[in-house]
Homo-oligomer: A and B are copies of this chain.
Amino acid sequence: MKKYILPSFMAILALCVNAQQALWGGSQIVSPEIHPDNTVTFRLIAPKAVKVEVIGDFLPTTKAELIEKDGVWEYTTPEPLSPELYSYTMLVDGLKINDPSNVHRIRDVKSVSDVFIIPGERADLYKINDIPHGTVSKIWYNSPTLGMDRRLTVYTPAGYENSGKRYPVLYLLHGMGGDENAWTELGRASQILDNLIAQGKAEPMIVVMPNGNAALQAAPGESSLGFVAPSMQLPKTMEGSFETHFPEVVNFIDKNYRTIKSKKGRAIAGLSMGGFHSLHISKEYPDMFDYVGLFSAAILPGKDVKSPIYDNIEGKIKTQFQKKPALYWIAIGDKDFLYQANKDYRKLLDDNGYKYSYFETPEGHIWKNWRIYLAEFASQLFKK
């Protein structure tokens, strides 16, 4: 039998594919390059550009200029960066682009950022380490209340498939403009849980991440709407529909996963709008969740919003606290635009002697904080 293909299949493939498919072929340079001392170099080849900048959350001033040398634009951070997951984009003569040399990008609402991780300390929780990994599934449930099939992200911990055990469940909700993908992408929820569980710092648990936009089936590009543009301006987000339908999510999960089907096996938490949803769902169904986490939460609905969900809020909160939740946890950054609303809400809880825990961090309404809050909150769940 003669040799039908040449030894260098790879070389031929590269050649032919380039000829047939003009889109292939990546970058010739490395960017970002993380040096051993944790300084980082960004590079771009843009021969005709006049000005190239990098915009990123690691820069004290948010922007830095790249300098051209031998055809390659370059910028190296003057100081090592602290351990963290960072996001950035580039500006070429004012045009915002993703770094063509970095394929690791995460969408947050309408913008796609390039990402990198400086390892160490807390940022090691955001990395994929050589430890057992849970499973992340995209699964659809039917909501009679909302009249549609809807998409969920479900994390099951390592060992779930091979055990007959029942697991507790954390319901984890995204913010405005987000979707069922947000917590596993910028939120690094599966990495955080894998790492905490492997370190013995969190109990093995299922994490359920639904889509909090009651008018939508799924994230942009993942529903029958097709490849639509994401939007912050969605209908039916903070007007009661999501909260009303929520028991359908819990029933679906209890039916299809080996869960602990009782209050002591359930937590609910969310960021911003998701914190608002967590507050109102947990008070509406006071026998459903023993653990509640409000991360940079919005507190009250808009004053024109009418829904039975928002009737008698104080009375429902009273009922909820009379039933003594195992943990009611409020976290916020000291520069968050919702800081005062949370302070006022804590005052209400204090005035009534309702027991909660409070966790304050620097900075504002950003993913860096929400990843920290998830790690802190998840470590306190289901311990008894």
Q: Separation in Å of the A125 CB from the closest CB of chain B?
A: 14
Q: Is the CB of B366 within 8 A of A21?
A: yes
In the assembled complex, 13 residue pairs joining A and B whose CB atoms fall closer than 8 Å, in A order, are A9-B238, A16-B337, A22-B57, A23-B56, A49-B93, A102-B227, A103-B111, A103-B221, A105-B112, A117-B226, A130-B149, A132-B140, A135-B140
Whether A10 contacts B135 in the complex (CB less than 8 A), given A98-B97, A127-B226, A224-B127, comes out as no
Confirm or deny: A372 has a beta carbon within 8 angstroms of a beta carbon on chain B: no
Q: Which residues of B contact A218 (CB under 8 A)?
A: 128
Q: Is the CB of A95 within 8 A of B87?
A: no
Q: Is the CB of A23 within 8 A of B103?
A: no
Q: Which residues of B contact A130 (CB under 8 A)?
A: 149, 224
- Checking B57, B102, B345 against A23 with a beta-carbon cut-off of 8 angstroms, the contacting residue is B57
**Which residues of A, 184-232, contact B by the 8 Å Cβ criterion?**
218, 220-224, 226-227, 229-230, 232
Confirm or deny: A145 has a beta carbon within 8 angstroms of a beta carbon on chain B: no
Whether A55 contacts B132 in the complex (CB less than 8 A), given A127-B226, A338-B5, comes out as no
Q: Separation in Å of the A89 CB from the closest CB of chain B?
A: 6
Q: Is the CB of A344 within 8 A of B62?
A: no
Question: Of the 9-residue stretches A166-174, A281-289, A298-306, A319-327, which lies at the interface with chain B?
Answer: A298-306
Question: Of the 9-residue stretches A24-32, A242-250, A259-267, A353-361, which lies at the interface with chain B?
Answer: A24-32
- Checking B2, B112, B313 against A1 with a beta-carbon cut-off of 8 angstroms, the contacting residue is B313
Q: Is the CB of A162 within 8 A of B302?
A: no
Whether A176 contacts B13 in the complex (CB less than 8 A), given A2-B344, A92-B95, A136-B138, comes out as yes
Chain B residue, CB-CB nearest to A222: B128
Q: Separation in Å of the A90 CB from the closest CB of chain B?
A: 9
Confirm or deny: A115 has a beta carbon within 8 angstroms of a beta carbon on chain B: yes
Confirm or deny: A72 has a beta carbon within 8 angstroms of a beta carbon on chain B: no
Q: Which residues of B contact A4 (CB under 8 A)?
A: 299-300, 340-341, 344-345
Q: Is the CB of B24 within 8 A of A109?
A: yes
Cβ contacts A94-115/B at 8 Å (1 or 0 each)? 1111101111110111111101
Q: Is the CB of A304 within 8 A of B232?
A: no
- Checking B102, B227, B345, B364 against A104 with a beta-carbon cut-off of 8 angstroms, the contacting residue is B227
Question: Of the 9-residue stretches A40-48, A75-83, A376-384, which lies at the interface with chain B?
Answer: A40-48
Bound Cα distance A323, B242 (Å): 56
Whether A92 contacts B92 in the complex (CB less than 8 A), given A224-B130, A300-B4, A302-B8, comes out as yes
Q: Is the CB of A26 within 8 A of B110?
A: yes
Cβ contacts A292-336/B at 8 Å (1 or 0 each)? 000000111011110000000110000000000000000000010
Q: Separation in Å of the A148 CB from the closest CB of chain B?
A: 8
Bound Cα distance A102, B112 (Å): 9
Chain B residue, CB-CB nearest to A110: B26
Q: Separation in Å of the A208 CB from the closest CB of chain B?
A: 13
Q: Is the CB of A135 within 8 A of B138?
A: yes
Q: Which residues of B contact A113 (CB under 8 A)?
A: 23
Chain B residue, CB-CB nearest to A272: B13
Which 3 pairs from chain A and chain B are nearest by CB?
Answer: A26-B110, A7-B302, A16-B337
Chain B residue, CB-CB nearest to A363: B20
Q: Which residues of B contact A27 (CB under 8 A)?
A: 110
- Checking B17, B95, B107, B115 against A103 with a beta-carbon cut-off of 8 angstroms, the contacting residue is B107
Q: Is the CB of B232 within 8 A of A14?
A: yes
Confirm or deny: A365 has a beta carbon within 8 angstroms of a beta carbon on chain B: yes
Whether A45 contacts B127 in the complex (CB less than 8 A), given A3-B300, A10-B233, A348-B1, comes out as no
